[in-house]
Structure 1
Amino acid sequence: MSLKIKVERTSAPKQKPATSQLGFGKYFTDHMFMMDYDTGEGWHHPRIIPYQSIPMDPAAKVFHYGQTVFEGMKAYKTPDGRVLMFRPYKNLQRLNRSNTRLSIPSLDEGLIMEALKQLIKIDEDWIPNELGTSLYIRPFVISTQPTLGVSPSEKYHFMIILSPVGSYYEEGINPVSIYVESEYVRAVAGGVGNAKTGGNYAAGLKAQQEATEKGYSQVLWLDGVHRKYIEEVGSMNVFFKIGNKVITPALNGSILDGVTRDSVIRVLKHWNIEVEEKMISIDELVEAYRVGTLEEAFGTGTAAVISPIGELNWQGDKLTLNGGRTGPIASKVYDFMTGVQRGTVEDPFGWIEKV
Structure 2
Amino acid sequence: MSTLHIEQVAKRKTIPNTSELVFGKHYSDHMFLMNYEEGKGWFDPRIVPYQPISLDPAAMIFHYGQTVFEGLKAYRTDDDQILLFRPEENVKRLNRSSERLSIPKVNVEEVLQYLKELVKLDQEWIPTEEGYSLYIRPFIISTEPNLSVAPSKTYTFMIILSPVGSYYKEGIQPVRIHVEENYTRAVKGGTGFAKTAGNYSAAYKAQEKATEEGYSQVLWLDGIEKKYIEEVGSMNVFFKINGEVITPKLNGSILEGITRKSIIELLNSWEMKVSERQISIEELFAAYEKGEVEEVFGTGTAAVISPIGEMKWKDRQIIINNRQTGELAKKLYSTLTRIQTGKESDPFGWVVKVNN
- Shorter-chain TM range is over 0.9
Q: Which has the higher mean CA deviation after the structures are superposed, 292-301 or 12-21?
A: 12-21
Is the aligned partner of 1:345 residue 2:344? yes
The aligned amino acid for 2:352 is: E
Aligned to 1:18: 17
Q: How does 1:40-59 map to 2 (within 5 A)?
A: 40-59=39-58
State how far apart, in whole Å, the 2-side matches of 1:305 and 1:171 are.
13
Residue identity opposite 2:284 in structure 1: L
Residue 267 of structure 2 corresponds to 268
Corresponding residue for 1:86? 85
Q: For residue 111 of structure 1, report the CA deviation from its aligned partner.
A: 1.0
Shift of 1:27: 0.2
Deviation readout 1:300-353 (Å, 9 max, x if unpaired): 000000000000011122200000000111110000000000000111100010
Amino acid at match of 1:67: Q
Following superposition, the deviation at residue 40 of structure 1 comes to 1.1
For residues 306 and 353 of structure 1, the distance between their equivalents in structure 2, rounded to whole angstroms, comes to: 21
Alignment of 1:290-305 (within 5 A): 290-305=289-304
SS at match of 1:318: strand
Q: CA deviation at 1:26?
A: 0.7
Q: Which residue does the alignment assign to 2:193?
A: 194
Tell me the amino acid that sits aligned with residue 311 of structure 2: L
Matched, 1:315 2:314: yes
Listed one character per residue, the Cα deviations across residues 35-62 of structure 1 (whole Å, up to 9, x for unaligned) are 0001111100100000000001111000
Shift of 1:12: 2.5
Length-normalised TM-score, structure 1: 0.99
Letter in 1 for 2:189: G
Partner of 1:142: 141
Cα distance in 2 for partners of 1:61, 1:225 equals: 31
CA distance in 2, matches of 1:333, 1:316: 32
- Deviation, structure 1 residue 184: 0.5
Which residues in structure 2 correspond to 1:182-331 (within 5 Å)?
A: 182-331=181-330
What amino acid is aligned across from residue 166 of structure 1 in structure 2? G
Q: CA deviation at 1:234?
A: 1.2
Identify the residue that residue 116 of structure 1 maps to in structure 2. 115
What is the SS of the residue equivalent to 2:208?
helix
| Worse-superposed segment, 311-320 or 81-90 | 311-320
Instruction: Say which SS state the counterpart of residue 113 (structure 1) adopts.
Output: helix
Q: How does 1:142-181 map to 2 (within 5 A)?
A: 142-181=141-180
Deviations 1:71-96 (A, max 9, x none): 00000000110000000001110000
Identify the residue that residue 71 of structure 1 maps to in structure 2.
Answer: 70
CA deviation after TM superposition for structure 1 residue 110, in Å = 1.0
| 3-state SS, counterpart of residue 45 of structure 1 | strand
Structure-1 separation of matches of 2:337 and 2:208: 30
What is the DSSP-based 3-state SS (H/G/I as helix, E as strand, rest coil) of the residue aligned with 1:209? Answer: helix
Cα deviation, 1:92-122, whole Å, max 9, x if unaligned, reads 1000000100000010111111111110010
Opposite residue 60 of structure 1, the aligned amino acid is A
Counterpart residue type for residue 74 of structure 2: A
- Describe the superposition over 1:219-255 as per-residue Cα deviations: whole angstroms up to 9, x where unpaired: 1000000101000011110000000110000000000
Q: RMSD of aligned C-alpha atoms?
A: 0.5
The structural deviation recorded for 1:23 is: 1.9
Matched-pair identity in %: 59
Aligned length: 354
Aligned mates of 2:11, 2:141 — CA distance in 1 = 27
Whole-angstrom CA distance in 2 between matches of 1:316 and 1:52: 48
1:135-191 C-alpha deviation (Å, 9 max, x unpaired): 000000000000100000000000000000000000000000000001110000000
Tell me, in whole angstroms, the C-alpha distance in 2 between the residues paired with 1:120 and 1:238. 30
Secondary structure, in 3 states, of the residue corresponding to 1:195?
coil
The one-letter code matched in structure 2 to 1:274 is K
The unaligned stretches of length 5 or more in structure 1 are: none
Letter of the structure 2 residue corresponding to residue 219 of structure 1 = V
Look up the equivalent residue of 1:202 and give its one-letter code. Answer: S
Equivalent AA in structure 1 for residue 45 of structure 2: P
What is the TM-score when the length of structure 2 is the normalising length?
0.99
Following superposition, the deviation at residue 13 of structure 1 comes to 1.4
- Helix, strand or coil at the partner of 2:252: coil
State how far apart, in whole Å, the 1-side matches of 2:238 and 2:297 are.
Answer: 5
